Amino acid sequence: MAKRDRTASRTAFVTLRDLPGTRLMFWVVSECPYCAGQHLHPAGNLRTADPGERLGEQPAPCDPSRTYELSLAPRPKKKSGKNERRRARREGKVRDWDDEV
């Protein structure tokens, strides 16, 4: 394994989304470890790219001097997750891309 500087990089959990009408995929950081915001990382083309190649250490968009490690999100254990999303969508805060194809 490559050496890692534990102080420099934190883990950011991502989920894979695609953009309706395109073949572009994005890794979505739902909660940035630095700013708690959402960030998108292009993961390439559905047909040609292997999105897994884009995981790992990436610069944080909110702070170019820092990096975080993109990692697949574990399955949610808290029951709040789904309801939170549903409520957020109802309030128009979250656009669910999958619904708009």
Residues that bind Zn ion (CB under 5 A): 32, 34-35, 37, 62
Nearer to Zn ion, 25 or 41 (CB): 41
CA distance 72 to 16: 9
State the nearest-atom distance from the C-beta of 68 to Zn ion, in Å: 8
Nearer to Zn ion, 10 or 85 (CB): 10
β-pair partners for 95: none
Nearer to Zn ion, 63 or 82 (CB): 63
State the nearest-atom distance from the C-beta of 100 to Zn ion, in Å: 25
As given in the structure block, the two tokens for residue 65 are 């001097």
CA distance 85 to 100: 16
CA distance 70 to 82: 22
State the nearest-atom distance from the C-beta of 101 to Zn ion, in Å: 28
State the nearest-atom distance from the C-beta of 31 to Zn ion, in Å: 9
CA distance 78 to 7: 28
Nearer to Zn ion, 35 or 40 (CB): 35
